[in-house]
Amino acid sequence: MASHQYPHFWRVVSAVRCMMDSSRSAQRAVIQFLLAEGENSSQIYRCMKEVYGEQCLARCTIFRWCQYYEAGRVNIKDLPRLGQTHVVTKNTTILAVDELIRQNRRITTREISIELSISKGTVHRIIHKKRGYGKVCAQWVPKHLPENQKTARMGVCLTQQFPL
């Protein structure tokens, strides 16, 4: 890319480097800026690929956003989409699941999901990832014991004699 083909190349590149945030919305802002500078989609893609490297948006994505901005769009954020919304697991839900497990160690994920009106996948994620429980003999138990329980367990093992 010769500088005579692209007269203000270095000014544009320095502006893009100032915006080195590689998030999608930041790159969309750069696309919007370069279009306002009069660059075409191919030049924008080459410039952004040079600056962002592997973090650069895909060529077809850059071309699509160029079309949006040329059609008059001004917002760089995604528009709302149809479909199921992402549910954030709240502390109250985590505590409710934990309380149900403490009340009944043999409760199933299906029973918890019905009781709290949440999906089985959410219950599973809370039990295994958030609370660290695992099933032993059909009962929910913590996977990792706290230090005081480890010490007590070791003391019991050392004082008892087991038959051979």
Residue 25's pLDDT is what?
85
Gap between the Cα atoms of 122 and 109, Å rounded: 9
**20 pLDDT higher than 60:** no
Average pLDDT over residues 103-112: 90
Mapped onto helix, strand or coil, the DSSP state of residue 134 is strand
pTM across the whole model: 0.44
Residue 76, C-beta contacts closer than 8 angstroms, at least 6 positions apart: 25, 28, 29, 32
Return the closest-CA partner of residue 98 out of 136, 129, 144, 121.
129
Structure tokens at 98: 């934990």
Torsion of CA 21, 27, 28, 29, to 10 degrees: 50
